Amino acid sequence: MKRFGAINGVNTRFEERLITGIRVGEEELTSFLGADNMLMAKAVDSTVTETEVVVHTLPGVAIALNDERISGETAIKVQLKDGFNSFTITASLREKTGTVFLNVERLPAGLYEESTRPVYHFTPYRHQMNDPNGLVYDEEAGLYHLFFQCNRPFASGVDARTRTTGWGHAVSGNLIKWEEQPMALTPDPLGAAWSGSGVVDRDNTSGLFDESVPPGSRLVVFYANVYGDETYGMAKISMAYSKDAGQTWIKYADNPVVKNTANRYGAGLRDPKVIRYENPKLEGGWCWLMVTCGDTYLFASRDLINWKVQGGTVCDVNGKSVECECPDLFRLPVDGNPEKEKWILTCGGVSYLVGELLVNDSGCVEFIAETVPVVNLNGIADQISGIKAPEIYATQTFYNDPAGRRVSMSWIRDPYQDWRDKVWNSAQSIPLVNTLRTVGDTVTLCRYPAEEVDSARKELIFYLRDAEIGPGSTNPLESVHSDCFDLYAVITPGNARNIELAARSGGPDPSEAELKLCYSVPENKLYVVKKGDGWQGVYEPEVHTGADGKLRIRLMLDKICYDVFGNDGEAAVQGILYTMSGADGLTLRADGSAKVDLLEVWSMEGN
């Protein structure tokens, strides 16, 4: 992963301002950020303890740096401490005044060399991160864009109530090797930039692009402005667009595009997910469709700017309003059959509803649920004090995947900012392909690593075929020690009732391991027992052996991140494991005679 120098955002030039430019060190800064154009930033190496600041102004302008009078075009030495250093620069000329908040971040020593830094899961260079946002693929540049919620201690001049919640940004050509970019969106007078989504406006339905921007690079993102000016509600939906393949972002001049005056759609209106929906009953056979959370609403548009609510709130099969965060809406074939498709409404990755999307007699788009919310996985981690949830959250899928897959990423929640040499909080999951499979009589949403994850495999460090295990047998994985691996196993249970696979194990007994998988044959359950520091508990997803009677398990460890998949995605468990023991062993055992059809372990590399 790579961290670039400046926080980026609205690319507004210095023209017609008292302050016409600022030089920090050797680099001239030429654009303001935020809707009020008051924020700039520049990152420097950990070895830099001071730098020069030169302020360029119109003739006759009086300038002050942190309330101390300075002269324009004169180099001023400023001291830099570790982290963000904020400088308030004010300018005045007769009745006109202006303020710039200059942020210079001094990066920590040893960045990306931390022993705890995951290798093939994305982590921010520093600071806090949460929801993935705006997942979109630019086919012209051949890049996936991952935006994410983040809080960083910069000064923006915006009401402190909004804090610094904005959109971080990273890009990748293969969904594994990510390069972190400057921030894409920062707070403005409408509020903080909370979660949202992205689309490609290929046909320029918004009218925001010209022929200089290739169709596949016409990127538009939607987000919630929260707090700030509440004329249009505490939470309202805004948009931004990029004309340079996502390098800089222009906030739409007439934001918000979904006004929530008097909180008519609820104070929790946020997390807009926008898709293109095709139906011959619609004008032109299609529309843009937005699903929002809190009380879940659908909005439709033909130009991404003017949105119309589509009736009341979305309900489940029993008529109960669906309340969720970070919704997503997509269509998938059942068991790979394109003639049998269902629409899926996901709620933060914690639950989902199966149903149909149609145009009703009133001409409005409506989601008709066929289920109540299906909970993917029991929880072991506090979401809110006393409310348990899985360790992953805010799951979102990519718009415009080139292979036509439904690829998702999730926020892996993290109880610690600082742990050993760790200087960031949270990780993003590896990319998972979503499919619908019939398990028993139930249509089930399954998730399994995208094939790109295999590209992170470095070396096959263990391989075994057609071996028997059972009571009294030695641990076949005794020679394997790793804290960054990808293990895949195919096992025929035979007469075994329980099969145990453990990581972070220091001895022959898997019960002492900090991460243990126990498959109960009679119960068809894969118990995932998590110990170590931080959140502890037991996940209990159902997993059925395949039609061939075999159990398939994939266990991945990436320093502090772990991933478990049963039966090719019927079960998907992901989280963060802080080891107390430092053990790096693996163990496999069964309480009856079982056959290991295949067992392979790969070392991993990534960013």
Predicted confidence (pLDDT) per residue in 192-235, tens digit = 999 999 999 999 999 999 999 999 999 999 999 999 999 999 99
> pLDDT band at residue 15, thresholds of 50, 70 and 90?
very low
Q: Show Cβ contacts of residue 486 under 8 Å, excluding neighbours closer than 6 positions.
A: 453, 456, 457, 554, 556, 601, 602, 604
Q: Which residues pair with 300 in a beta bridge?
A: 289, 308
Average pLDDT over residues 284-290: 98
Q: Are 206 and 222 in contact (CB under 8 A)?
A: no
Tokens of 45: 């190496």
Q: What is the pLDDT of residues 307-322, one digit of tens each?
A: 999 999 999 999 999 9
Q: Quick check: 12 pLDDT over 60? A: no
What mean pLDDT do residues 579-590 have?
Answer: 93
CB half-sphere exposure, 462, CA atoms < 13 A: 21
pLDDT at residue 8 in the model:
38
What does the alpha-carbon distance between residue 309 and residue 240 come to, in Å, rounded to a whole number? 21
What totals of helices (H) and strands (E) does the chain contain, helices first?
0, 47
Strands 551-558 and 585-590 come out as: unpaired
Give tens-digit pLDDT for 391-423. Answer: 999 999 999 999 999 999 999 999 998 899 999
- Residue 305 confidence (pLDDT) above 70: yes
**The CA-based dihedral angle spanning residues 528, 423, 40, 51, taken in that order and rounded to the nearest 10 degrees:** -160
pLDDT surpassing 50 at residue 559: yes
Contact 307, 232 (CB under 8 A): no
Pick the closest to residue 156 from 76, 101, 201, 237 (CA basis).
101
Model confidence at 554: pLDDT above 70:
yes
Question: What pLDDT does residue 573 have?
Answer: 97
DSSP 173-186: SSSSSEEEEEEEE-
Give the sign of the dihedral formed by CA 54, CA 56, CA 62, CA 63. Answer: negative
State mean pLDDT over 486-503: 97
Residue 345 binned pLDDT confidence (cut-offs 50, 70, 90): very high
For 34, the 3-state DSSP assignment is: coil
Whether omega before 256 lies within 30 degrees of 0, making that bond cis, reads: yes
Higher local confidence (pLDDT), 118 or 4: 118
CA R_g for the chain: 26
Q: Write down the pLDDT at residue 39.
A: 62
| HSE-up (13 A, CA, CB side) for residue 464 | 21
| Length reported for the chain | 607
pLDDT > 90? residue 157: no
C-alpha triplet 326, 184, 38: angle, nearest 5°: 120
**Residue 2: CB atoms within 10 Å:** 13
Residue 552 has pLDDT above 90, yes or no: yes
Q: Are 299 and 309 within 8 A, CB to CB?
A: yes
**Residue range 380-384: mean pLDDT, rounded:** 85
**pLDDT value at residue 29:** 78
Report domain 458-604's class. mainly beta
Residue 382 has a pLDDT of 84
8 Å CB contact between 472 and 585: no
CA distance 126 to 374: 35
**Per-residue confidence (pLDDT) for residue 392, from 0 to 100:** 96
Which segment, 30-39, 246-255, 426-435, is predicted with the most confidence on average?
A: 426-435
pLDDT tens-digit readout, 451-485: 999 999 999 999 999 999 999 899 999 999 999 99
Domains 127-447 and 458-604 share a fold: no
Residue 76 near residue 65 (C-beta atoms within 8 A): yes
Residue 10 in this model has a pLDDT that exceeds 50: no
Domain ranges of the chain: 19-106, 127-447, 458-604
**d(C-alpha 314, C-alpha 238), whole Å:** 22
Give the separation between CA 11 and CA 32, rounded to whole angstroms.
6
Gap between the Cα atoms of 30 and 492, Å rounded:
64
Mean pLDDT of the chain: 92
For residue 582 the two structure tokens come to 């430092």
Residue 386 or 235, more confident: 235
Amino acid at 548: D
Name the β-bridge partners of 576.
561
Could you identify the residue written with the tokens 């006759």? Answer: 60
Helix, strand, coil percent content, the chain, rounded in steps of 5: 5, 50, 45
Does the pLDDT of residue 34 top 70, yes or no? no
Q: 451: helix, coil or strand?
A: helix
Please confirm, yes or no, whether 568 is among the known catalytic residues.
no
Beta-strand (E) ranges in 227-369? Answer: 235-242, 250-251, 273-278, 286-292, 294-295, 297-301, 308-309, 323-324, 327-334, 337-347, 351-359, 365-369
* CATH of the structural domain 127-447, one choice from 3.40.50.1220, 2.115.10.20, 2.60.15.10, 2.60.120.10: 2.115.10.20
Given a cut of 90, is residue 284 above it in pLDDT? yes
CB 469 within 8 A of CB 475: no
Q: Could you tell me the strand order of the sheet in which 235-242 lies?
A: 192-200, 219-226, 235-242, 250-251
Sign of CA dihedral 376, 379, 383, 387: positive
pLDDT of res. 32: 66
Q: Choosing from 131, 201, 483, 563, which is the catalytic residue?
A: 131
- 125 three-state secondary structure: coil
The three-point CA angle 296-400-556 to 5° equals 85
